[in-house]
Copies of this chain bind each other. A is one copy, B any other.
Amino acid sequence: MLATKQEVTDFMRTEFPQAKCIVEAVGEQSATIRHTVGFDELRPGGTVSGPVLMTVADCALYVAILGEIGIVSLAVTTSLTINFLRKPSSSKDIIGKCTLLKIGKSLIVGEVSLYSEGDVNPLAHVVGTYSIPKAR
């Protein structure tokens, strides 16, 4: 059932051609994602926009789920709560680290900590829920 890093990467590239999320690691109910930061990601004042952070978190959650239950294209986010904690660096990649909290038959819940690469303090914290189609 488990999908490998390569399988998840291939799937994400096909399904989400616009996505800039790079799969760094996946497995053991967790995932690590990298997102580069450039003009499109920045807000005035040199900070990364909130929606980019939400994108990275959503992606990290999705990748962790794919790694756990296999390639399921119909998994959809049902809810997501983000707390913004610190101002992101404008010159460092965003790293998202997801840990799954519950793997149910129909709902999977996980949390994601987001970092500017190299920082130990998270810049945002996310909890999200995915709904999984029944016939998996």
Contacts and interface: CB of A to CB of B under 8 A. Distances in A.
Contacts of A76: 84
Interface residues of A, number: 39
Given A58-B51, A125-B111, A80 B78 contact: no
* Copies of the protein in its oligomer: 4
Contacts of A121: 102
A57 B73 CA distance: 25
Nearest to A51: B55
Nearest to A81: B81
A128 to B, nearest CB: 9
A18 B44 contact: no
Contacts of A15: 43-44
Interface string A92-113: 0000000001100011010100
B51 A78 contact: no
Given A15-B43, A16-B43, A50-B77, 9 more contacts: A16-B44, A18-B40, A45-B74, A77-B84, A78-B107, A83-B101, A85-B101, A109-B125, A111-B111
